[in-house]
Every structure is written in structure tokens, then in C-alpha cells.
Amino acid sequence: MASTALSCSFAWTNNAVIACSCAWLLVTPATSQAAAAELPAGVSETVIFEPVFQGRTRILTAGNPRNEAVVLVHGIGEAGARDWYGVIPALAERHYVIAFDLPGFASSDHRNQTFTPLMYAAFVQHVVRERLRNPFVLVGHSLGGAVALRYAAVWPNDVKRLVVVDAAGVLYRSALAKEVMALSGGDKPASVWQRSAKAIAGKMVDQFGRVPLDLDAIWGAQTARRIWLGSSSAKIAALALIDEDFSRLLDRVTVPTAILWGTADNVAPPRTARLLAARLPDASLTWIDKVGHEPMHQAPERFLQLLKAAIAGDSHARWKGVAPTAATRDGVCKREEGKVFTGAWRRIDANDCEGMRIENATIQELHANDSEIKLENVRFDSHGVALHIQDSLVTATALVVRAAIAFDLDQAQLDLAGADVEATVMGARVDDDSIAIFSACRWYTPQRQGGLHGVFKLETESAY
């Protein structure tokens, strides 16, 4: 899949951007002539004028129209629908398959438009409404995964099953940047997400600070898109996706959803898969071992087998978090590195610990001081305070907290993804200024109810 690459430099003063210089590169673009010449056997092609973006786009169909329909949505890149060429003939043996070049990619018109997931979902709705009468299976990869999630949230009656493959975005942009940069290590960023992460977050990520840049003002206005992004479809789509808020969307995706994810994906972090599995009401998660962001190219036979099973709904084992479990044992980590806790615990104390992990566990209380801790698929049930965090960094994915007070924070840093917090007294009591990143979280307390997605400064002697 071709991709765009962004390289930017920022000048800062008093936490504001005063200058920005950006350069975008487009890697290995495909021509529309090549796309047409390489059509797989049995695939038909037509060009339509669509009303959402008011431009021309290419529609591909294969198989018997009387069979169950499968709609394929590709990710960012000039390959467009060509990303699906390897799977369309096999799927068409039992299904009616529809694929297309999203507006702004491959052989579709490239124009200065607002290429948001919602607008793309509206485009998909137009395409299927003209061709289908029954609910269909919707499959999305990368950007297409985000579009598919948006579609299923807005038009749930249209979708019979949903398959999400290495979906890009979803994490709040600061959390996304941190994950992508950690996964890329010292390698030079090669993808639009890796470049965008470094350009947008920059040095602010280390402090979990806000990005002092209104992204909506860039991708949402035609003149700004022309000046900042050169009217590039890929750049606009990438920035709009990074700015998308999924916190209130995921609960509305009620159809059975199969999540397929490469364990070695350094473009769409695997943390995103765990977030989706925890937050979607009816989701299963299947890992594709040692495969990166493009399983259809990197492990085609294995991917096709998993995709067929997901489309058919075979072995759809709903992801479940850990259940509340009573426990009497206590755990301690003191000046240790890489210690791991699993199972049921009454209380865990961490003092001066680095790289500590708590996984697939139930806990009543966690006390962390001067430590770095990662929580994954952890549930807290407490009649008092669940998490006491002092001078520590806590990164949590698929976290559930049921307590009187969820967090007691003292100069703490939180990075929560897919967290579900319910507190009867308060969600967070702040003893000294702390900061938190929320990615598609639920937060229900007397002080606040609803979704949380963004960076929040939590001030001393405040309750949230």
C-alpha cells in the first residue's frame, strides 16, 4: 500500500506554535491505468459520479448479487481498492463483493475536501444503497476500519457483521503518538501515522501535554487545507482521522464485530485492538502473530482464512474482561524492574518500580509511589479508593473501575485507553496537580457522566 509521509518542524514560544514548516512525500503511487489493467478474474469495474464528495470514483463488484454481500473499505494510500485484489476472487465464490477507491485515492478524483470518517461513511452508504437491499458484512482496514466503525454506529441496521482489520486512529492523538514512536524505536518513521505522530505531538508527548494546535482548523477549512496540507487527500484524511473522537461512538456499534490485528503492527498500535475489544459491546479479538499493518500482503493465506471465518461469523467468541473475584493475598513490588502480577489480589503496593505490569487481574486497591506501571485487562472493585497514584506513571488499557473513589492522584500521570470508570463519590480526588490522557473512555461519577477523549490537567484539591 502506498503511503504519504509527513515531516514538520515547529517553532514554539509560551506553549504556542509561532511557525511551522511541513513537507509531505508520496511513496510508490499507483496509476489508475495500472489499477484497471490488473483487475482480478471475475471482477467488474464501473466509474460513477457520487454526490457526497461530488466526484468520480471506481466501483468494483464480483460474485452473485443474490448472495450475502461483503463490502470492503481500504486504508490510506494510492493503492486504493487494489489492497483487496488478493481476497476478492476467493470471497466472491460465496459472496457478492463490493469494493471501491475511496474519494481522494487511487483512480477517484483528488480534490480539496473534508475527508473525515463520517463523510467517508456517507459515501459508502450511497454506494451500498444503490446496490444492496439486505444487511451486509462490512470489512475495513486501517483508515477503512475507522470508517467501518463510524458506519456501523450511524447505520446499524445496514450491517450484519463488522470486521475491523488493524484500524488506524481511535487512540487520542497524544497516546497514539507515544505508542507509535515507542513501536518504531530508533527506526526512521515510514508511514503517515509515524510521521504525523512525531510532527503533531513532538516534544509534548513526554509531558503528556496538549498539542497547542487546532487540528480541526487545518483540515476543516478549504484555505487552511490548501496552505498547510497542499490540498492533498491523504494528508487531509490522515489529519481528520487523528482528530476523530471515538469516545461516544463505540457504544453505538452493537453488531457482532470481529477484530483482526497483527501483533507486529507499528502503524496501528496493538493497544488499539485491546481498546476496541473492551469497549465494543459485542467484539471478538484475533491476533495475527508476527504480522504487521498489512496482513493481506504480509500473510495473505493466513489472512484470507481468518477473514473468511470472520465474515461467516465462525467461532465468534465474544471478548470478556475479567470478572470480579474475591481475594485475600497482597502483592509488593519494591525497587524492582519488570515485575508482573496476574490473577486476584486484595492489595498491591509498588514503590520505586520500573516496567511493572498488571495483566488479566482483579484488584481491590493499588498503591503506587515513584513507579511506572502498565495495566492491561484489569478490574478494580473497591468500597473505598481503588487506585492511589503518587509521583507515578500509570498506562492502562481495557481498565474497569467500580469504587467509591476511583483515583487518588498526587503528581500523577495517567494514560487510559478504553477505560470504564464508575464511582459513587468521585472519579478522581487530586491532592497535587496531575495530568491524564483519555482515549475512548467512559466516565460516570456524580461530577461528570459520558465519554472522555483528550488531555486533561487535573488541578490540586479538585474532584472529577
**What's the pLDDT at 411?**
95
CATH of region 1-320, choose from 3.55.40.20, 3.20.20.70, 3.40.50.1820, 3.40.50.460? 3.40.50.1820
Please give the residue that has the higher pLDDT: either 265 or 184: 265
**What's the pLDDT at 184?**
65
Parts of the chain belonging to CATH 3.40.50.1820: 1-320
pLDDT tens-digit map of 123-134: 999 999 999 999
The model's pTM: 0.85
Q: Are 395 and 378 in contact (CB under 8 A)?
A: no
**What's the pLDDT at 113?**
66
* Confidence band of 267 (pLDDT split at 50, 70, 90): confident
% of the chain exceeding 90 in pLDDT: 67
**What's the pLDDT at 110?**
73
Pick from 384, 436, 433: which is nearest to 405 by CA?
384
Does pLDDT of 27 surpass 60?
no
**What's the pLDDT at 197?**
45
Query: Is the four-CA dihedral 39, 258, 191, 12 of positive or negative sign?
Result: positive
**What's the pLDDT at 107?**
85
203 CB contacts (<8 Å, ≥6 apart)? none
DSSP, collapsed to helix, strand or coil, labels residue 32 as helix
pLDDT tens-digit map of 314-368: 867 888 888 888 899 999 999 999 999 999 999 999 999 999 999 999 999 999 9
* Confidence band of 230 (pLDDT split at 50, 70, 90): low
Burial pattern 105-124, b for ≥16 Cβ within 10 A else e, equals: bbbbbbebbebbbbbbbbbb
- Kind of pairing between the strands at 16-27 and 3-13: antiparallel
Across 424-450, average pLDDT: 95
- Kind of pairing between the strands at 257-262 and 69-73: unpaired
Whole-number average pLDDT of the chain: 84
pLDDT tens-digit map of 77-122: 889 999 999 999 999 999 999 999 999 888 887 776 677 899 999 9
Lowest mean pLDDT among 107-111, 320-324, 370-374, 399-403: 107-111
Across 35-40, average pLDDT: 68
Separation between Cα atoms, residue 448 and residue 439, nearest integer Å: 16
- Cβ–Cβ contacts within 10 Å for residue 165, how many? 29
222 membership: H or E segment, kind and range: helix 222-229
